Amino acid sequence: MSTPQNLIDGRAVAETIHRETADRLAALKARGVQPGLAFVRVGEDPASQVYVGMKERMSARLGIASKTHVLPEATSEAELLSLIASLNADAAVHGILVQAPLPKHIDPARVYASVSPAKDVDGFHPVNVGKLMLGDATGFAPCTPAGVHELLIRSGTVIAGAEVVVLGRGNIVGKPMAAILIQKARHADATVTICHSRSRDVAGHCRRADILIAAMGVAEFVKADMVKSGATVIDVGVNRVPDATAKNGHRLVGDVDFAGVQPVAGRITPNPGGVGPMTIAMLMRNTVRAAEMAVT
């Protein structure tokens, strides 16, 4: 049986990255530069409020000047685009994050494409997506897959030549995750398979993976018999499931059956405490980098 020693502690790794980011912040402030981060939230989605709150608190802790713009649910797309245009033009704002989800009457693709690529610290602008695919390091990578990449690197997982299976083909995690790992570059050079809802024999694909990254949004989908002994398993999923014993009647679980898979895995992220803290760490790092790029 494996022990907790095979856990990849996302909170600890995130703290290391925050210390590195703080050093870069200090260097910027010595030059008279105050990095600024703008959050934009439309509507009162409870999860969005929580996520933005966490990012606000980390910004304050590190010394990044942040401001949250909260717009009513009925805000038109034109009004949202106007706000983004004003933030693009504001020299005090180095990073812009538009929190998902957006109301159904607003086109997310149009909104993300309206953010200046130089301030797109979420990595969703088509220019940054293209740079990621091309292996151009001058762009911004999306925070969650970038955070997963750091977890792999800092846990000592061998990526070069590894068989990687990514469960999920979404634009936020699955596709950019594959793009990061397949590059001809240091800490990459993997052979990547993306599985999705139309894939045949998903379990068979998973069983040959040296690195298995679950990001499809299906509660506890990955079971022990789907994982190769000694594989590194990264759980990106966040799913709400009923739980009569919980105070609010539900609990959050990942895409991996952690209790079953942990004894099989060589390394595994807990959930919570794995990928989540890394997403925020990468956002802060991207924001500082945007400020550095703005003054070079």
User: What's the distance, CA 248 to chain centroid?
Assistant: 26
Side-chain-side CA neighbours of residue 108 (13 Å):
12
Candidate list 119, 120, 122, 257, residue with the active-site label: 122
CA neighbours closer than 13 Å in the CB half-sphere of residue 265: 30
Query: Which residue out of 99, 175, 228, 262 is catalytically annotated?
Result: 99
The residue type of 258 is F
Exposed (0-12), middle (13-18) or buried (19+): which is 19, by Cβ within 10 Å?
A: exposed
- Alpha-carbon gap, residue 269 to 255, rounded angstroms: 11
Contact of 177 with 147, CB cutoff 8 Å: no
Tokens of 113: 């494409």
Per DSSP, what are the bridge partners of residue 95?
37
- In eight-state DSSP terms, residue 285 is H
The one-letter amino acid code at 74 reads A
Give catalytic status of residue 99 as yes or no.
yes
Residue 55 annotated to the active site: yes
- How many CA atoms does the CB half-sphere of 218 hold within 13 Å? 10
Cα distance between residue 173 and residue 148, in whole Å: 9
Q: Are 95 and 118 in contact (CB under 8 A)?
A: no
Q: Taking the CA atoms of 203, 205, 208 and 210 in sequence, report the sign of the dihedral they define.
A: negative
SS3 99: coil
Is 122 among the residues known to form the active site?
Answer: yes
Query: By three-state DSSP, how is residue 236 classified?
Result: coil
Q: Of the listed 55, 119, 175, 228, which one is catalytic?
A: 55
Strand partners, 194: 166
SS3 call for 77:
helix
Catalytic residue numbers, as ranges: 55, 99, 122
